[in-house]
Amino acid sequence: MSFEIHVSKRLGDTRIALELDAGEGVTVLFGPSGAGKTSILNMVAGLLRPDCGTIRVGGETLTDIAAGIDIAPEHRRAGYVFQEARLFPHLRVRANLLYGAKDAPLDPEEIAFLGIGHLLDRWPRTLSGGEARRVAIGRALLSHPRFLLLDEPLSSLDRARREEVMQAIEHVRDVLKLPILLVTHDAGEAERLGSRIVAI
Protein backbone atom coordinates (compact mmCIF):
# COMPACT_ATOMS: atom_id res chain seq x y z
CA MET A 1 0.00 0.00 0.00
CA SER A 2 1.38 3.39 -0.95
CA PHE A 3 1.22 6.93 0.41
CA GLU A 4 0.81 9.66 -2.20
CA ILE A 5 0.89 13.01 -0.43
CA HIS A 6 1.10 16.25 -2.41
CA VAL A 7 -0.04 19.04 -0.12
CA SER A 8 0.60 22.62 0.88
CA LYS A 9 -0.66 24.45 3.96
CA ARG A 10 0.08 27.86 5.47
CA LEU A 11 -0.05 28.07 9.25
CA GLY A 12 0.70 31.60 10.41
CA ASP A 13 4.01 32.60 8.86
CA THR A 14 4.99 29.02 8.08
CA ARG A 15 4.28 27.23 4.81
CA ILE A 16 4.23 23.45 5.04
CA ALA A 17 4.61 21.52 1.79
CA LEU A 18 5.27 17.88 0.97
CA GLU A 19 5.60 15.94 -2.28
CA LEU A 20 5.76 12.24 -1.38
CA ASP A 21 5.19 8.96 -3.20
CA ALA A 22 6.12 6.08 -0.89
CA GLY A 23 5.55 2.33 -0.89
CA GLU A 24 5.01 -0.13 1.95
CA GLY A 25 6.96 -0.20 5.20
CA VAL A 26 7.72 2.76 7.45
CA THR A 27 7.99 6.19 5.88
CA VAL A 28 9.74 8.47 8.37
CA LEU A 29 9.11 12.22 8.32
CA PHE A 30 12.36 13.43 9.86
CA GLY A 31 13.26 16.92 10.95
CA PRO A 32 13.43 19.43 13.80
CA SER A 33 10.53 20.42 16.03
CA GLY A 34 8.28 23.01 14.43
CA ALA A 35 8.99 21.91 10.86
CA GLY A 36 5.39 20.83 10.26
CA LYS A 37 5.72 17.06 10.58
CA THR A 38 2.73 16.64 12.91
CA SER A 39 0.65 18.96 10.72
CA ILE A 40 1.29 16.61 7.79
CA LEU A 41 0.10 13.64 9.88
CA ASN A 42 -3.01 15.64 10.80
CA MET A 43 -3.68 16.33 7.12
CA VAL A 44 -3.41 12.62 6.29
CA ALA A 45 -5.72 11.82 9.22
CA GLY A 46 -8.25 14.41 8.04
CA LEU A 47 -7.86 16.56 11.16
CA LEU A 48 -6.32 19.46 9.24
CA ARG A 49 -7.35 20.52 5.73
CA PRO A 50 -4.54 21.43 3.32
CA ASP A 51 -4.87 24.64 1.33
CA CYS A 52 -4.26 22.70 -1.87
CA GLY A 53 -3.20 19.28 -3.06
CA THR A 54 -4.12 15.62 -2.83
CA ILE A 55 -3.71 12.73 -0.40
CA ARG A 56 -4.10 9.13 -1.57
CA VAL A 57 -3.46 5.99 0.45
CA GLY A 58 -3.48 2.64 -1.31
CA GLY A 59 -4.86 4.32 -4.41
CA GLU A 60 -7.90 5.70 -2.55
CA THR A 61 -8.32 9.47 -2.67
CA LEU A 62 -8.78 10.85 0.84
CA THR A 63 -8.28 14.50 -0.05
CA ASP A 64 -8.40 16.33 -3.36
CA ILE A 65 -8.94 20.02 -2.73
CA ALA A 66 -9.47 20.94 -6.40
CA ALA A 67 -12.11 18.21 -6.79
CA GLY A 68 -13.83 19.05 -3.49
CA ILE A 69 -13.00 15.66 -1.90
CA ASP A 70 -12.20 15.59 1.82
CA ILE A 71 -13.11 12.27 3.46
CA ALA A 72 -14.11 12.60 7.13
CA PRO A 73 -11.47 11.37 9.63
CA GLU A 74 -13.64 8.52 10.91
CA HIS A 75 -13.95 7.11 7.38
CA ARG A 76 -10.24 7.14 6.54
CA ARG A 77 -9.45 4.01 8.59
CA ALA A 78 -6.28 5.54 9.96
CA GLY A 79 -4.83 4.29 13.24
CA TYR A 80 -3.38 7.41 14.88
CA VAL A 81 -1.04 7.20 17.89
CA PHE A 82 -0.45 10.71 19.18
CA GLN A 83 2.69 11.98 20.89
CA GLU A 84 0.87 11.64 24.22
CA ALA A 85 -0.82 8.25 24.66
CA ARG A 86 -4.25 9.92 25.12
CA LEU A 87 -5.76 6.97 26.94
CA PHE A 88 -9.12 7.57 28.59
CA PRO A 89 -8.22 8.08 32.27
CA HIS A 90 -11.64 6.87 33.51
CA LEU A 91 -11.33 3.53 31.69
CA ARG A 92 -9.08 0.62 32.57
CA VAL A 93 -6.68 -0.68 29.92
CA ARG A 94 -9.11 -3.38 28.78
CA ALA A 95 -11.86 -0.80 28.18
CA ASN A 96 -9.42 1.51 26.38
CA LEU A 97 -8.54 -1.35 24.03
CA LEU A 98 -12.19 -2.29 23.54
CA TYR A 99 -12.91 1.31 22.54
CA GLY A 100 -10.51 0.81 19.63
CA ALA A 101 -12.13 -2.53 18.83
CA LYS A 102 -15.55 -0.84 18.66
CA ASP A 103 -16.77 -3.04 21.53
CA ALA A 104 -15.97 -6.29 19.69
CA PRO A 105 -14.62 -9.09 21.90
CA LEU A 106 -10.98 -8.57 22.81
CA ASP A 107 -8.80 -11.19 21.11
CA PRO A 108 -5.62 -11.46 23.22
CA GLU A 109 -3.71 -12.94 20.27
CA GLU A 110 -4.16 -9.73 18.28
CA ILE A 111 -2.09 -7.76 20.77
CA ALA A 112 0.06 -10.47 22.37
CA PHE A 113 3.21 -9.10 20.71
CA LEU A 114 2.75 -5.82 22.62
CA GLY A 115 3.21 -7.57 25.97
CA ILE A 116 0.28 -5.78 27.59
CA GLY A 117 -1.88 -8.75 28.60
CA HIS A 118 -0.94 -8.32 32.26
CA LEU A 119 -2.03 -4.65 32.15
CA LEU A 120 -5.69 -5.18 31.24
CA ASP A 121 -7.07 -4.39 34.70
CA ARG A 122 -4.79 -1.41 35.35
CA TRP A 123 -5.76 2.27 35.24
CA PRO A 124 -3.87 4.46 32.73
CA ARG A 125 -2.40 6.60 35.52
CA THR A 126 -0.54 3.55 36.87
CA LEU A 127 1.22 2.76 33.57
CA SER A 128 4.78 3.66 32.67
CA GLY A 129 5.31 5.78 29.56
CA GLY A 130 6.28 2.74 27.51
CA GLU A 131 3.29 0.72 28.73
CA ALA A 132 0.90 3.56 27.90
CA ARG A 133 2.42 3.95 24.42
CA ARG A 134 2.08 0.21 23.73
CA VAL A 135 -1.56 0.28 24.88
CA ALA A 136 -2.17 3.23 22.56
CA ILE A 137 -0.66 1.27 19.66
CA GLY A 138 -2.84 -1.71 20.59
CA ARG A 139 -5.97 0.45 20.64
CA ALA A 140 -5.10 1.84 17.21
CA LEU A 141 -4.48 -1.63 15.78
CA LEU A 142 -7.74 -3.05 17.17
CA SER A 143 -9.67 -0.55 15.06
CA HIS A 144 -8.35 -2.57 12.06
CA PRO A 145 -6.83 0.44 10.28
CA ARG A 146 -5.56 0.43 6.71
CA PHE A 147 -2.48 2.38 7.85
CA LEU A 148 -0.85 3.80 10.99
CA LEU A 149 0.18 7.34 11.82
CA LEU A 150 2.74 7.55 14.66
CA ASP A 151 3.69 10.96 16.07
CA GLU A 152 7.00 10.84 17.98
CA PRO A 153 6.08 7.42 19.47
CA LEU A 154 9.37 7.16 21.40
CA SER A 155 9.59 10.64 22.86
CA SER A 156 10.16 11.03 26.61
CA LEU A 157 10.84 7.31 27.13
CA ASP A 158 13.90 5.86 28.83
CA ARG A 159 16.15 3.45 26.91
CA ALA A 160 14.39 0.25 28.04
CA ARG A 161 10.91 1.58 27.28
CA ARG A 162 12.06 2.93 23.90
CA GLU A 163 13.33 -0.54 22.99
CA GLU A 164 9.97 -2.11 23.90
CA VAL A 165 8.04 0.33 21.72
CA MET A 166 10.55 0.05 18.84
CA GLN A 167 10.13 -3.72 18.83
CA ALA A 168 6.35 -3.27 18.71
CA ILE A 169 6.66 -0.93 15.72
CA GLU A 170 9.01 -3.35 13.97
CA HIS A 171 6.45 -6.13 14.50
CA VAL A 172 3.73 -4.01 12.88
CA ARG A 173 6.09 -3.20 9.99
CA ASP A 174 7.52 -6.68 9.40
CA VAL A 175 4.77 -9.09 10.49
CA LEU A 176 1.46 -7.24 10.23
CA LYS A 177 2.75 -5.40 7.13
CA LEU A 178 0.76 -2.25 7.88
CA PRO A 179 2.08 0.86 6.13
CA ILE A 180 3.25 3.42 8.67
CA LEU A 181 3.86 7.16 8.47
CA LEU A 182 6.09 8.00 11.44
CA VAL A 183 7.28 11.37 12.73
CA THR A 184 10.58 11.74 14.60
CA HIS A 185 13.44 14.18 15.10
CA ASP A 186 15.78 11.38 16.28
CA ALA A 187 18.23 10.17 13.61
CA GLY A 188 18.78 6.80 15.30
CA GLU A 189 15.06 6.06 15.40
CA ALA A 190 14.67 7.10 11.77
CA GLU A 191 17.57 4.88 10.65
CA ARG A 192 16.40 1.80 12.56
CA LEU A 193 12.67 1.97 11.83
CA GLY A 194 12.47 3.67 8.46
CA SER A 195 12.06 1.93 5.12
CA ARG A 196 12.65 5.42 3.76
CA ILE A 197 13.40 8.77 5.38
CA VAL A 198 11.91 12.04 4.16
CA ALA A 199 13.53 15.23 5.44
CA ILE A 200 11.05 17.93 6.46
Q: Is the CB of residue 165 less than 8 Å from the CB of residue 3?
A: no
Whole-prediction pTM value? 0.92
The per-residue pLDDT string of the chain (200 residues; one tens digit each, 9 = 90 and over) reads 789 999 999 998 889 999 999 988 999 999 888 889 999 999 999 999 999 999 999 999 999 999 999 999 999 999 999 988 899 999 999 999 998 787 677 777 778 889 999 999 999 999 999 999 999 999 999 989 999 999 999 988 888 889 999 999 999 999 999 999 999 999 999 999 999 999 98
- Indicate the fold that domain 3-199 takes in CATH: Rossmann fold (3.40.50)
Whose CA is closest to 156, among 179, 180, 182, 185?
A: 185
